[in-house]
Amino acid sequence: MKFPKRKLFLLIIFAYVAFSLYAAYNVFFSTKVISRVHRIEKKEAGPSDGGAAPFVGDEWNPWEDEQVEYNSALNKKREAFKQHMARIDKNKPKRYKVQIWGKAAIGLYLWEHILEGPLNPTDKIAQWREGELQSNKIDFSFYTGPAVVQGHVPLDMNSLVLVLNGREQQKVAYSTRWLEHVRALVQSHTVSHVAVVLLGDEHCNNDWIGPYLKRYGGFVDLLFLVYDSPWVNDRDVFQWPLGVATYRQFPMVKPNAEMITSNRPYLCNFLGTVYKNSSRETLVRVLKQSDLEKECITTSILCCVCISGELDNECSNIFKCVYFVAMLHGYFFFVGAL
């Protein structure tokens, strides 16, 4: 029987199209995953009859046991490393970061004369001055100047020392704003401990800072107060020296063995600026009435003239000269500030 060529050709075309469609379906639409890993049958004991029930297991990974061992060893190494670092941190000496914000002139006395810290820039009229100092386990940083304002000082510390002026009502209002700013830092746990160095009122009118002390429910741990006060108890309130009038260019005099051990012919000395109704005027009167002028060197400067906030050259030289004489011959040294 002769098969028509036309029909044979059409049959071949049809088979080709059908195979192409089937192949396209398997490629683009089939969800069956063909794994290249051989599947094996695993036998597992039954839960009740103890017989073996064959089942088709998951895809077999010939390196599975090695990978489990590797991961276990890696986790042990990580845990051992964490314990090692924890031991290092525990044995490492703890360091404390303390910032000092100088918003009163006595802050310079604290930083330069007591802590002997550096200060940059050296220009005394710079808007922003700062310094860093390390002492034993404490890292000190100091910021002062008109540009040191609330919210613009880098906060990298455990404790804060705030140097304030509370000698007159205008200064009290300014200092109160700083204390409220620090209160917010304490409440947000940014600052842990707070100490205040305060140039207080000469007549002991310092009640305004009382609510900020911890003893009255505040946040100030320690208060260092210039001028005597009934609050001083050497526990949380300490008396602080008025210090050196740094803005009058007093030179830095570092103590040495000769200054400490040498015999001095005078009991004390006084160098100060005396003006009407000042506490220094009362001090000079007491020295004279007690006949201590024979025991002490007393130098009062009355006529210094300030020009644009600076002492004239003659007055500055007098201060420096008498300062050195007093340091060499006196046992106690009192400095007054305008």
Mean pLDDT of 90-118: 89
Mean pLDDT of 306-317: 38
Mean pLDDT of 150-175: 92
Q: 40-49, 86-95, 248-257: lowest mean pLDDT where?
A: 40-49
Reported as a pLDDT band with limits 50, 70 and 90, residue 307 is: very low
CB atoms within 10 A of CB 162: 23
CB 204 within 8 A of CB 227: yes
CB 212 within 8 A of CB 179: yes
pLDDT beyond 60 at 244: yes
Q: In whole angstroms, what is the distance from residue 333 CA to residue 338 CA?
A: 17
Mean pLDDT of 56-80: 76
Q: What is the pTM of this model?
A: 0.58
Q: In whole angstroms, what is the distance from residue 69 CA to residue 261 CA?
A: 73
Q: Which residues contact 329 (CB under 8 A, 6 or more apart)?
A: 264, 265, 266, 269, 297
How much of the chain, in percent, has pLDDT values that exceed 70? 77
Which residue type, as a one-letter code, is found at position 118? P
Reported as a pLDDT band with limits 50, 70 and 90, residue 50 is: very low
Reply yes or no: is the peptide bond before residue 118 cis, omega within 30 of 0. Answer: no
Helix (H) / strand (E) element for 87: namely: helix 64-91
CA–chain centroid gap for 103, Å, is: 17
Q: Write down the pLDDT at residue 59.
A: 66
pLDDT beyond 60 at 130: yes
Reported as a pLDDT band with limits 50, 70 and 90, residue 264 is: confident
Q: Write down the pLDDT at residue 300.
A: 60
pLDDT digits (tens, 9 = 90+) for 18-40: 888 778 777 776 655 544 444 44
DSSP for 91-140, written as a single string = HSPP-EEEEEEE-STHHHIIIIIIS----BS--TT-S-EEEEEEETTEEE
Mean pLDDT taken over the chain: 77
Q: Write down the pLDDT at residue 325.
A: 36
Q: In whole angstroms, what is the distance from residue 33 CA to residue 39 CA?
A: 13
Instruction: Please name each of the domains of the chain with its CATH number.
Output: 96-250+316-336 (3.40.50), 267-311 (no CATH)
- What b/e readout covers 228-240, taking b as 16+ CB neighbours within 10 angstroms? ebebbeeeebeeb
pLDDT beyond 60 at 127: yes
* DSSP β-bridge partners for residue 131: 142
Helix (H) / strand (E) element for 45: namely: strand 41-45
